Amino acid sequence: MKHEVLIVGAGVAGLSLGRRLRERGLEVAILERARGVGGRCASWTLEGRRVDPGVPMLHGTSALFLDAVSNLPGCTAVLDWPYHLRGSGTPCQPQAYRSRGRRLALAEGVSCFPKQLAAGQAVELETEVRGLRLEGPGFVLQTGRGERRAETVILTTPVEETLALLAGLDGNGWAELRALQQTLRTTFTVPCLTLVAGYPEAPKLDFHLILPGGGSPIHSLIHDSSKRPGTGPGAVLVIQGQPGFSRERMESDEASWSEELLGAAAALLGDWAARPTFRRAHRWRYARLLRGGELAHPALLRWPEGARLGLCGEAFNPAGGVEGAFLSGLELAARLASDAATSVEPAATGEEA
């Protein structure tokens, strides 16, 4: 099966890109290995309670982004959440708390945003892309459901996964591709072990977010239910591990690191926090980009035969986070539509540029 454009990844970057290209009349398919869209902008329902286990809220300074997330049909924006903060730790995205930025949570779940972006698009879920190769005037993607072909392929996957796919193009002697790979090797993502814990009879809590700092294994302790008015008594907490803690225990037994996080939560809140009524753990291997590693723009390579390879995502916009992912998708869509002069044409096979 062949499309004009194949996008790998149905996170915010891939969805914003696909939506804009579709608006311009292009035939686009988005391949996503997970069962749903949005990546870290995920929302779960546990014991009848909505919870955001990844990105807790949306924030930014771009009018384009803020307009997109503030006017989602059927979604209730909780402005300026979280506004009861405790602790001396550093937020994942410090810029979210600066005066010129704006924050908002979504009472129905942060997944409202990617679901809205995905509406009307051709998104193929549970389709893992395992390899990429150049063939003639286009690319062949090897997936768990067979081969897919397109002249234009866009990778929106985490940097580590993008590098693994780009390895399929090695050995061709393209200086520009090698330079891009080298740049990406200096960009790193941060892991995060996360535990969602529910307490139907929790005491009244006076915080929305705790950043313990110091030697705690917890990076962020989020009172998730505080952004969902009218959801009933008790509390649902999202406990996110420090990067170092998460990296060291990523392959450890889930029960072991879950108990460590609960013990640390109890040290902050009281013994009751060690005894949730329900819980669910999750490993975010690529939770977020390490701040300071963002590139200025998406990447676009063009081959003389016509094949085009693009890269976008939070790593390709200075804003970073969900805002950076959204804006990078829009920027790459504009470049693809105009076949921008800034695109790079690699040298012919086996030759140096």
Distances from the Cα of 77 to the Cα of 14, 137, 145, 222, 274, angstroms: 23, 46, 38, 18, 31
pLDDT at 343: 41
Pick the CATH number of 44-110+189-289 from 3.30.420.270, 3.90.660.10, 3.30.365.10, 3.40.50.300: 3.90.660.10
Return the domain boundaries, the chain.
Answer: 2-37+116-188+292-338, 44-110+189-289
- The whole model's pTM is what? 0.92
pLDDT at 333: 97
pLDDT at 172: 60
Distance CA 138, CA 149 (A): 7
Question: Within the chain, which residues score under 70 in pLDDT?
Answer: 1-2, 99, 171-173, 339-353
- The structure tokens 């866009």 sit at 154
What is the maximum span of the chain, computed from C-alpha positions, in angstroms? 68
The single-letter code of the amino acid at 279 is R
In the CATH scheme, what architecture does the domain 2-37+116-188+292-338 have? Answer: 3-Layer(bba) Sandwich (3.50)
33 half-sphere exposure, CB direction, 13 A CA radius: 12
Q: pLDDT by residue (tens digit) across 205-217?
A: 999 999 999 899 9
pLDDT at 150: 95
276: helix, coil or strand?
Answer: coil
Distance CA 114, CA 75 (A): 12
Q: What are phi and psi of 198, to 5 degrees?
A: -110, 140
